Amino acid sequence: MDLYAAVAAALAGRGLELAAPLCVPAYDAAVAEALRLPRLGRAAPLALVVGNTRALWPRFLAARRAEPDPLDRFVEREVAAALADAAPGIARAVRFAHDAPVTVAIQRAAAIAGLAHLSASHLSVHPTYGPWIALRAVIVLDADGLTEAPPPLPPPCVCATGCGPAFAAALAAGVPSGEAELRERWRLWLAVRDACPVGRAHRYGEAQLRYHYTKDPAALG
């Protein structure tokens, strides 16, 4: 098994089952300098865009019963464990989507990798799971990777008849300036995802949705 396959399998075994190889030169050319990825001394290092479907949620809840652990910290721990299993001793750099300040354009990375289409309403839409995914991290490893990006995914729908009207309604209410405003308006932004016709069978459950948008600890049970 090659390094990419080994790392992807280790991540999938920990609930991070979405992964796609990323062409670092193509990504770097598409983003601001501050968001470019480390090359680890290579012209085109091996990189993976990592995400999950709703399948991560029960794993997170089960782990939390033994050790209280917010979801972002849980993801960091699982990524570290997967890399320790599949890529021991290999230099790496990890950029998490939840890092603050932002260190990676995770939606742009997923689009360049062919993992998810980036729609005009800022949804990342997977061909199977639709918008019911979370993009978690980009991993860069000290090994040779892609020198060219794959063809972009075709748009899955036309926003004028899908998520477009819901996106316009959410914008009309005002873009949230912080978590407090998002908690007040999160149903409007959820409606944008619900309007997407792709992957409806993979929609998150109510508790997962509430936690995703509001970080309400009551949603964790």
Question: Tell me, what DSSP letter sits at residue 92?
Answer: E
Stretch 75-99: mean pLDDT, rounded? 98
3-class SS shares of the chain: helix, strand, coil, % to 5: 45, 15, 40
Give the pLDDT of residue 181.
Answer: 80
Q: Alpha-carbon distance 188 to 204, whole Å?
A: 16
Question: Lowest-confidence range among 59-68, 70-79, 99-108, 176-185?
Answer: 176-185
Strand ranges inside 53-133, DSSP E:
92-96, 117-118, 124-125
Domain ranges in the chain are 3-144, 164-220
Q: Rounded distance, CA 114 to CA 215, Å?
A: 29
Backbone angles phi, psi at 207, to 5 degrees: -65, -40
Residue 1: pLDDT over 60? no
The span from the CA of 3 to the CA of 99, in Å, is 25
List pLDDT tens digits, range 162-172: 888 899 999 99
Q: Is 78 left (phi over 0), alpha (psi -120 to 50) or beta?
A: alpha
Query: Residue 65 — very low, low, confident or very high, per pLDDT cuts 50/70/90?
Result: confident
The pTM assigned to this predicted structure is 0.94
User: What are the pLDDT digits (tens) for 16-42?
Assistant: 999 999 999 999 999 999 999 999 999
Indicate whether 77 pLDDT > 60: yes
